[in-house]
Structure 1
Amino acid sequence: MDIEGQLTTHSIGQFVRSVWYERGLEYGNPYFNERFRVNAPETSLTPAWMYRSEARENGMMLIRIEEDLALIEAVELYAEIWGGHPGTVDKRLTINGRSTYPLPEVGTAAGHCTYSYPSIPFKLTDIVNGYNAIQFACDMGTGFWGHYIVDNAALDMVLKRGHPDLEAARLADFTATVAWEHLSDQAEAVNLALVCPDAYHDKISHVDFVGYYSGYDENGNGTGCDWHGFTKNRAPAAHIGTAAHPPFSTSWDTTMLTAQNDIAVRAVVHFRDVPDLVYKTPASIGWKIPQRKRNLVTYHLAANQPQPFWSRDGNLRECTVILDDAPDDIEQAELHVLIWDGGAGTTKKPLTLNGHDLPVASSGAHDVLYRKITIQPRQLQGGMNTISLLSDTEHHGIEILLPGPCLVLRRCKEQ
């Protein structure tokens, strides 16, 4: 399928209202554990888990919307999901007892550590103007405890153009696009700018720019050629950039991206007076990164990754990146990696490349971290390059999430 086919759902501008799941009795969502947890049925009677607070969670959330459903064009559930214990299978949800939808399988069932950000389109007849009950579930599979976490979830509703809230906010006629321009003084920097009438500038709080291109799969959905970026605690991360002041533009450094065609960009426009509403511009398509005259950028994903790729109690785990050539012509190198940070314990260098420290861990807050680490070319070698993970924590330590470590190299071509 060409890029026009892949981007059909982004071909027009849309106003989207997000209503997030909130915890607490005042929202109809009591809880026993500090995070929203989903368990396989066996958990309730497994002695090792049944008395823990996690096992008391029922996987049900209520999201209340106050909306005239006749004025809604489309609706979907967006979520930030820790894939759970490796081997957990058949992650799914049911909305208001009406329809059941599978959550995309991104590697957990095969024994990998994962984190993903699915968008699940619902039928309009699935939702109600009121409390929407979303029941998450899973099965145990081959793991020791069928279990995953939904860190955040929202119902995203596309508003029809005649929606009275757009009239009230004086946005009924608002449209915008994204312009792309190469910066002449920086050959591989691109300027992205929001194009909209100046009269709307005061209404805009900030603009997030996102890109469709081939790169590292930092959002863990199983493909590196798609819309990049994700949210963490509901805020955008790993996107191209954010502009908070007119003329709402940002510079995109494409130095470490491969030469490619069919790049697209779009903007998510946030408004001062209606913070729950955004405008998503149409995808601006047809852009490319041309072949460089003197440089070549390549991606090298680690091979033979352990399943699961985690270290506990001092158990060393390793994978390798094979480079066909010596690193003599490497001008710039990065290592991209996603981790679930359960803490390194007392280990001084939990993640290393050929024995060199890779600083990845943070506070051990059991959250997802995306790291881009500068690598000195002298730390690499032709042939096998070994990435080692070591943690002495008893339970969750550092977990390497799919797609795993990836070396990105910028080499000088022979003239």
Structure 2
Amino acid sequence: MKIAWVLIFLVSFFAIMASSVSANLVTNPGFSGKTGWNFYTNGVASFTASGSGVVSITTKGSNTQLYQYGLALKPNTDYKLTFTASASKGSDLQVYIHKHGSPYTNYGLSNWNVPLTTSLQTFTKTFKTTSSASTDARLRFWLVNGLNGEIYKISNVILEETGGSTPAPDTLSVTHSPTSPLTGDEVTLNAVSSKSATIKIFVDDVLKKTCTATMSCSYSSTYTGTHTYYATAEASPLLRDPVSGTKSFTVSDIPPTPSGDGLVYREYYAIMRDRTKEWRVTDPLATYVGDPSNSPSTFLPNSILSINITDLSQAVKAEAIIDYWGGHVGTAGQKFRFNNNAWLTVPKLTSANSIPSGHNGECYAQQWNTVVSIPLSNLKVGKNIFEGTSGGQICHNFNWGQWGWYGMVLRIYYNNSKPHPTGQITSPAKSSTINENPTITVSASSLAGIDKVDVLAYYDGYDYDGDGIYKEYQENYRKIKGQNSIILKNHVGTDTLAPYNILWDTAWVPDQSSGAIKLKARIKDKNGVWFETSEVTGLTLSRSGSVKLYKAEAVPEKFVVRAGQTRSSQFTIPSTHNLGSATAARLYVSTWNGIDGEAEPGQTHYTKVNSWTAPTYGMNHFYSIDELSMPTSAVKTGTNTVTFNSLSIHHGIEILWPGPAVAVRYSSKQIP
């Protein structure tokens, strides 16, 4: 009797163990309805489920996926994925298993390419999860290869733990050379395996080279822009294929070497319309669910925009200056491309932009002019289409990556043999001293006639363009709300009539060290060609009193206030500055939705410098930089606090990088 009970126990035990190992993690594997399955496309397609999952593609998109999330995976564990599939036109699909939300970390299965036929076939893949695998996995069938009219069928999806140990893969490494390629360079990708194998090299997830029975493989080609690459190795008796890990390289333009006095260029403009989705760029994989009128799907697919170029003759370089809004704080992976060429990365704020050590630039509210080099091969004369895309949020995450661009200035630079205007700053002279409010005189000429002359100044002052760099040429491009234009702002000034005499209002230009100021002019002729003059350097500003700028300190991440929040930054006035001789003061503050638009009655907001309350300022759901006069009694020696509060339950107020600053004008000289 005891023996019988022991046998029953052992049979039950091993049955339970077998069940625990082989249990299918997929809900509704046979597609008896849509339960457990999700579908998304930025093209035109439909998903039905009755015994199999059927995806019918009308118009292919760049993001079409059938997926299931919330799968509980164990780290460093062996699994097997099995499914049956077909494609009516024989297009492949790819399979991924990764973290469901941003940053979509690979959990052990990435870009498994499955070659489908028009007949149903069963496919099996064994893999080992990574150490980061968790209970938030997404199984994703990636269907972007599907052609218009393609019908995918998928069924019998089984994801199970195998229970066995998978031997560690042999090592596989991949590198590129040269390490910093320039336009025209041939880029070579080298993959090296620790044992003889079939090595495959992929560029931008496309198979480029297969080498059999070898320990090394290389592939060479010329490129423009940024590209990703990786390699795989297949060698018996491995139960799974080692993957090198994804790397990337960027091909840079060869910088032009202008001859003559300065740069020659044209500017082309693209304006994204207010109150449309044109100016917003959304993460196609965002999972946030909000109101029907304010969810990721509201803004997807991302808009296809255009800009017209009339002249690429003698062009040597191109760059885009973007009126860029950081959007949902924490958003990363901002990219755009021209004419379906390679994606170009939008730079992020770094330590060079005063971001504190240990912090990511994406984690701060921001609007600034970012500059991106554009390969000339990506552009053409006539209509050029461009589009943006986005990754998820790396901090302050609510699963909705989104950023914005209000406008773009596309500059095409030419060699100096291009017909262009000429000129120079004739006053002041190099290394001279200028008094308050000087007149800058420019000579300019062109066979086509002169359209306008702009003067720009280099000095240490308030950061109008929002890049966190105070000492630079003070200028920025901004779209004007409600208007179809983007203009140069916060420069010295503009003149359209000869003689070109431009008054520089220096009343609030902070004190500068001797010889630190520089000036240059840019001249546009009536053919639309710009020319930048040589710099006038070594200038010294002389004044009887002083102007001091006190820059923001202790600026918090996600400097946003709403729903009763109060947040603040600081600035410091040193004890060597005599506030008794202060004659005027002003607060500089850059905001998005500074007026707290859409706040309901009774939902007030305020800005305070210490105990002084600022008047109402800012714009509704738009960028604004405001210069607010304030009494000198509002500030004090030592640490001062700028405080923001909003009771609005709606968007609230964004205080933009690098934070608010205060300037004070003194009747007497102050010690630097």
Q: Structure 1 residues 90, 259: closer, same or farther in 2, change over 3 A? A: same
Matched, 1:249 2:491: no
Q: What secondary structure does 2:633 align onto?
A: helix
Report deviation, 1:57: 3.2
Residue pair 1:259, 1:291 contacting (<8 A) in 2 also: no
**Partner residue, 1:193:** 441
Report deviation, 1:120: 1.3
Report deviation, 1:66: 4.8
Report deviation, 1:148: 0.6
- The CA deviation string for residues 191-211 of structure 1, in whole angstroms up to 9 with x for no partner, is 1122124x76x9334322222
Report deviation, 1:385: 2.0
Amino acid at match of 1:225: K
Matched, 1:311 2:561: yes
Residue pair 1:36, 1:57 contacting (<8 A) in 2 also: no
Q: Structure 1 residues 280, 349: closer, same or farther in 2, change over 3 A? A: farther
- The CA deviation string for residues 294-327 of structure 1, in whole angstroms up to 9 with x for no partner, is 6444332222223211211222222222323262
Whole-angstrom distance in 2 between the partners of 1:330 and 1:205: 42
Q: What are the within-5 Å matches in structure 2 for residues 308-387 of structure 1?
A: 308-325=558-575, 327-344=579-596, 345=599, 350-359=606-615, 361-364=617-620, 366-387=621-642
Whole-angstrom distance in 2 between the partners of 1:78 and 1:132: 16
Report deviation, 1:32: 9.4
Q: What are the within-5 Å matches in structure 2 for residues 167-246 of structure 1?
A: 172=419, 174-181=421-428, 187-197=435-445, 203-233=449-479, 234-246=486-498
- The CA deviation string for residues 38-78 of structure 1, in whole angstroms up to 9 with x for no partner, is 112332x4322776376333335343445464432321112
Q: Structure 1 residues 41, 150: closer, same or farther in 2, change over 3 A? A: same
Q: What secondary structure does 1:47 align onto?
A: coil
Tell me which of 150, 164, 175 is aligned to 2:405.
150
**Partner residue, 2:288:** 46
Matched, 1:137 2:389: yes
Report deviation, 1:291: 6.9
Tell me which of 78, 85, 92 is aligned to 2:335.
92
Residue pair 2:604, 2:648 contacting (<8 A) in 1 also: no
Whole-angstrom distance in 1 between the partners of 2:540 and 2:593: 34
Q: What secondary structure does 1:151 align onto?
A: strand
Whole-angstrom distance in 2 between the partners of 1:152 and 1:125: 22
Residue pair 1:178, 1:281 contacting (<8 A) in 2 also: no
**Partner residue, 2:46:** none
Q: Structure 1 residues 156, 54: closer, same or farther in 2, change over 3 A? A: farther
Q: Structure 1 residues 414, 189: closer, same or farther in 2, change over 3 A? A: closer
- The CA deviation string for residues 203-231 of structure 1, in whole angstroms up to 9 with x for no partner, is 33432222222211110122112221212
Residue pair 1:192, 1:252 contacting (<8 A) in 2 also: yes
Residue pair 1:32, 1:54 contacting (<8 A) in 2 also: no
Residue pair 1:117, 1:221 contacting (<8 A) in 2 also: yes
Matched, 1:259 2:532: no
**Partner residue, 1:169:** none
Report deviation, 1:342: 4.9
Whole-angstrom distance in 2 between the partners of 1:414 and 1:67: 53
Amino acid at match of 1:191: T
Report deviation, 1:161: 5.1
**Partner residue, 1:299:** 549
Amino acid at match of 2:633: R
TM-score relative to the length of structure 2: 0.52
Q: What secondary structure does 1:372 align onto?
A: strand
Report deviation, 1:9: 7.4
- The CA deviation string for residues 168-193 of structure 1, in whole angstroms up to 9 with x for no partner, is xxxx36311223339x9x83222112
Report deviation, 1:369: 1.3
Q: Structure 1 residues 62, 362: closer, same or farther in 2, change over 3 A? A: closer
- The CA deviation string for residues 230-275 of structure 1, in whole angstroms up to 9 with x for no partner, is 122211211111223221221113343222334322223344x54x
Matched, 1:286 2:537: yes
Question: RCO greater where, 1 or 2, for CA within 8 Å and sep 6 or more?
Answer: 1
Amino acid at match of 1:331: T
Tell me which of 280, 303, 326 is aligned to 1:83.
326
Q: Structure 1 residues 203, 54: closer, same or farther in 2, change over 3 A? A: farther
Q: Structure 1 residues 53, 129: closer, same or farther in 2, change over 3 A? A: farther
Q: Structure 1 residues 387, 66: closer, same or farther in 2, change over 3 A? A: closer
Q: What secondary structure does 1:88 align onto?
A: coil
Residue ranges of structure 2 left out of the alignment (5+ in a row):
1-256, 350-354, 480-485
Equivalent pairs counted in the alignment come to: 386
Residue pair 1:36, 1:59 contacting (<8 A) in 2 also: no
Report deviation, 1:109: 4.0
CA radius of gyration, larger in: 2
- The CA deviation string for residues 383-402 of structure 1, in whole angstroms up to 9 with x for no partner, is 33221212222222321111
Whole-angstrom distance in 2 between the partners of 1:12 and 1:362: 41
Residue pair 1:347, 1:390 contacting (<8 A) in 2 also: no
Q: Structure 1 residues 378, 342: closer, same or farther in 2, change over 3 A? A: closer
Report deviation, 1:150: 0.8
Q: Structure 1 residues 194, 61: closer, same or farther in 2, change over 3 A? A: farther
- The CA deviation string for residues 20-45 of structure 1, in whole angstroms up to 9 with x for no partner, is 23569xxxxxx9934421112332x4
Matched, 1:58 2:301: yes
- The CA deviation string for residues 119-155 of structure 1, in whole angstroms up to 9 with x for no partner, is 2122222223344343322221223221111111232
Whole-angstrom distance in 1 between the partners of 2:427 and 2:293: 56
Whole-angstrom distance in 2 between the partners of 1:32 and 1:332: 39
Residue pair 2:308, 2:382 contacting (<8 A) in 1 also: yes
Whole-angstrom distance in 1 between the partners of 2:510 and 2:564: 36
- The CA deviation string for residues 360-409 of structure 1, in whole angstroms up to 9 with x for no partner, is 52441x22211222332222112332212122222223211111111223
